[in-house]
Amino acid sequence: GAGVSQSPSNKVTEKGKDVELRCDPISGHTALYWYRQSLGQGLEFLIYFQGNSAPDKSGLPSDRFSAERTGGSVSTLTIQRTQQEDSAVYLCASSLAAAVGGYTFGSGTRLTVV
């Protein structure tokens, strides 16, 4: 597609429920990144993919967080047993390849855990 697409744009969930966030990167971009941004804060790295592999998962906050990427395209970030501290904007970005050029970000998914 022309840009990075994320869905849903907003998600309100009850504490303890599981959520899935989706990212559709720019066609041809082999690298895909997930970041998290709390209100008024900076960007916290979560995980990145090169193709379908995740060479760096170091930013995932706990084992409740997981992500996968299939077909070198769409990625899903799953948060199990959500907690209130998971509330944030989850941003996905893609680039031609890892360490190549700037990132194009999607509009993000605003997750609110109540």
Partner 1 sequence: GQQVMQIPQYQHVQEGEDFTTYCNSSTTLSNIQWYKQRPGGHPVFLIQLVKSGEVKKQKRLTFQFGEAKKNSSLHITATQTTDVGTYFCAGLGGLTGGGNKLTFGTGTQLKVEL
Torsional class of 97: left (φ above 0), alpha (ψ -120 to 50), beta (otherwise): beta
Minimum CB separation from partner 1 for residue 93, in Å? Answer: 8
Element (H, E) at 71: none
Minimum CB separation from partner 1 for residue 18, in Å? Answer: 25
Minimum CB separation from partner 1 for residue 49, in Å? Answer: 10
Vertex 1 angle, CA 52 and 97, to 5°: 40
Q: Contact at 8 Å (CB) between 111 and 86?
A: yes
Q: Annotate each residue in 52-71 with x if it binds partner 1 (CB under 8 A) or - if it does not, as one string.
A: ---xx---------------
- Provide the binding-site residues for partner 1, judged by CB under 8 A: 31, 33, 35, 42-43, 45, 48, 50, 55-56, 91, 93, 98-99, 101-108
